[in-house]
Structure 1
């Protein structure tokens, strides 16, 4: 049986392109499993449901290896579980010349050895890529700090509020301090979230005593 696995990282992303490719492989729509979440782990509803229906001799299709997952050590473990424990095969459509477990299976014990070496190489390359990404991020942060850039969101202060908001604070500040209105009521009147509200109130107290 042919099975398709589709994953996008967020609910805002469109999975239809991947689904179309699965249908083009002759996969029944009911056998296409879809997840809309990060690929860092494998505790995904669609993926777990797919594994429950895999039987010996089935073929699992994915669009690209990173659609299966982004933690390549975990990807390798899942690859081995599907191809060896469940006795199914995996084809990665983006590069089927390399990522087709049937080719290794046809070579018997030698193919199993070559597959292990191939997966180990994949893990090494992925690990090096992760290190490069972290290094580029660290270099970017260091450069931004050296340039005097503020990497966080700018903190709201009294001057950033509208005239109407400042008027509401002026009219209700003493009521709030006298506990005639609650903090929740006050921040709702101004239209501020909790952390911003208390920062603003601290600023207001410093300015007005």
Structure 2
């Protein structure tokens, strides 16, 4: 079953959900299966979204007009979609930058997997830079140090990039903060997961 969700930022009537509503109807969502909120995306307590998520059952698909209608922020969005996936529920985005996301299809799962990996990678970079800054403050003038280790998000990004003709290994290693030897120890040149990479991903969400 298709379940729709719409949200507008103001509750005073200055914005309307007609565009979102019509898009959901055109996508096959029944009118009575559309939930609505009139609140800021940053607001945590959204009754319409809460009721929508409760109504979803395994096999259902949540349909939204754009990604920004669903999540308060990137972290909240990814957690929401991971929870839907865990419950056996799909997500389909109709327009905007997330229009390629349809987690009911293999390609859609891959797109969101890369999307989530990028967000995780960004968080890890921030953490690593913070740690490096603190270490530098404690040891003025000290140089060197071992490269950052591989992490689940780095393995996922390497999997997505390796095997692509346009990927430059030196640029990829620089972006991930690892050596070429470390990269090849986890992912093969044609994008296949190697034993060390499998160990990194063991116990976390399966890629793709």
What is the TM-score of this pair, normalised by structure 2? 0.51
Out of 6, 26, 30, the position equivalent to 1:24 is: 26
How far off its partner does 1:13 sit?
1.1
Out of 50, 62, 71, the position equivalent to 2:64 is: 62
Equivalent residues, number: 121
Out of 96, 117, 122, the position equivalent to 1:120 is: 117
Report what 1:51 is aligned to. 53
User: How does 1:1-209 map onto structure 2 within 5 Å?
Assistant: 1-11=1-11, 12-84=14-86, 86-94=87-95, 98-104=100-106, 115-122=112-119
How far off its partner does 1:116 sit?
3.6
Higher relative helix content: 1
Q: Which segments of 5 or more consecutive residues in structure 2 lack a partner in the other structure? A: 124-208
**CA-to-aligned-CA distance 1:72-106 (integer Å, 9 cap, x gap):** 1011000100122x211001101565211112489
User: 2-side partners of 1:58 and 1:115: how far apart?
Assistant: 18
Report what 2:160 is aligned to. none
Q: Which segments of 5 or more consecutive residues in structure 1 lack a partner in the other structure? A: 127-209
User: 2-side partners of 1:78 and 1:45: how far apart?
Assistant: 15
User: 2-side partners of 1:96 and 1:9: how far apart?
Assistant: 19
8 Å CA contact 2:101, 2:108 repeated in 1: no
Report what 2:152 is aligned to. none
What is the TM-score of this pair, normalised by structure 1? 0.51
Q: Radius of gyration: which is bigger?
A: 1
CA distance change for structure 1 residues 88 and 73 in 2, over 3 Å: closer, same or farther?
same
8 Å CA contact 2:102, 2:108 repeated in 1: no
8 Å CA contact 1:7, 1:36 repeated in 2: yes
User: 1-side partners of 2:38 and 2:10: how far apart?
Assistant: 5
